[in-house]
Structure 1
Amino acid sequence: MSRPTPDSPPTRSKVTGGLAVLACAACCALPLLIAAGVVTGAGAALLRQTLLAVAAGLAVAALTMWWLHGRRRDTCRAPAGGCGGTGCACLR
């Protein structure tokens, strides 16, 4: 497995974003579930609202994690003269 590049989003935000996409897909599948008789009308209304809220929350969480990851990376740069003989203070 290759190491992620510094510009790639962290794994936790990728997982959270994937879960948000899965919640959106489940929401879009509701009409099929209703037609198949798996979910009733009242249950579908409640499930739809819940899935939309979960998807929105997960999307916000993923974006926040990605943003925080970028901020942390930006605060950890080598000095203008380079790391020198002592090494960099911020290695990951």
Structure 2
Amino acid sequence: MSLPLPTPTTRDQHRAPAVDTAPPTRSKVSGGLAVVACAACCALPLLIAAGVLTTAGAAIIEKTLLAVSAGLVVLALSMWWLHRRRSTHDAAAAGCGCGGAGCGC
């Protein structure tokens, strides 16, 4: 059984645009690089066992990879926050197209 469609009203025409909350591509790339840095840090014991790295070299690389990974995570989260903030601001500024003049939408 099908139901009739509701009749469009003038209020439906002034619906606010949707806010984009999905992470942007640059944030996904930064997060992916942080995961790669973490995986490389976890692979250090295998490289030591294989004789590719010494323990002193692995300690230096471990500290560097952890710092890089933490920095990339912070960067990814801040880019996502900034994207959501801009998207929300743009959606609020669009409003109903009256330009904020109090047209009574």
**TM-score (norm. length: structure 2):** 0.70
Structure with bigger RCO (C-alpha 8 Å, 6+ apart): 2
Does 1:22 find its partner at 2:36? yes
Runs of 4+ in 1 over 6 A off after TM superposition: none
| Cα offset, 1:41, TM superposition | 0.8
The separation in 1 between residues aligned to 2:73 and 2:52, in whole angstroms, is 27
Is residue 97 of structure 2 the alignment partner of residue 83 of structure 1? yes
Spell out, residue by residue over 1:38-85, the C-alpha distance to the aligned partner (whole angstroms, 9 max, x if none): 111110000000000000000000000000000000101131xx237x
Q: Distance in 2 between matches of 1:28 and 1:74?
A: 38
| CA distance in structure 2 between the partners assigned to 1:7 and 1:50 by the alignment | 32
Counterpart pick for 1:64 among 65, 70, 78:
78
TM-score (norm 1): 0.80
Aligned length, in residue pairs: 78
What amino acid maps onto 2:54 in structure 1?
T
Letter in 1 for 2:69: A
Residue equivalent to 1:87: none
Give the aligned CA root-mean-square deviation in angstroms. Answer: 1.4
Higher Rg of the two aligned structures: 2
- TM-superposed CA distance for 1:8, in Å, is 1.2
Q: Distance in 1 between matches of 2:20 and 2:81?
A: 13
Structure 2 residue 87 is the aligned partner of structure 1 residue 73: yes
Percent sequence identity over aligned pairs:
67
| Structure 2: stretches of 5+ with no match in the other structure | 1-18, 99-105
